[in-house]
Amino acid sequence: MILPVVAALTACQAGKQPLPAPDTFAPSCGQDRFRGLVGQDAAILREVDLPSATRVVKPDMALTQDYRPGRLNISIDADGIIDRVWCA
């Protein structure tokens, strides 16, 4: 009884094209405008007009693994210094 269901599902998948890998997407979060923040104290983020889709990442913070090329990520190290800016 399970075999016909598996065969039907396999047939449905045969014609679909796979989605491109996340690394083939072009980042569109504007990360280049914010590269100058790297090395600065995180307190400066209060003064910067960040895009609405910005995620500030702190040490040991849990993150979702979904890829959003329009989301700006800013990583802060344990000393409160911005150490990375990237799209994802």
Encode pLDDT of 11-31 as tens digits. Answer: 555 556 666 555 555 667 889
| d(C-alpha 47, C-alpha 52), whole Å | 14
Q: List pLDDT tens digits, range 31-65.
A: 999 999 999 999 999 999 999 989 999 999 999 98
pTM above 0.75, yes or no: no
Least Cα distance to 85 among 24, 25, 22, 36 occurs for 36
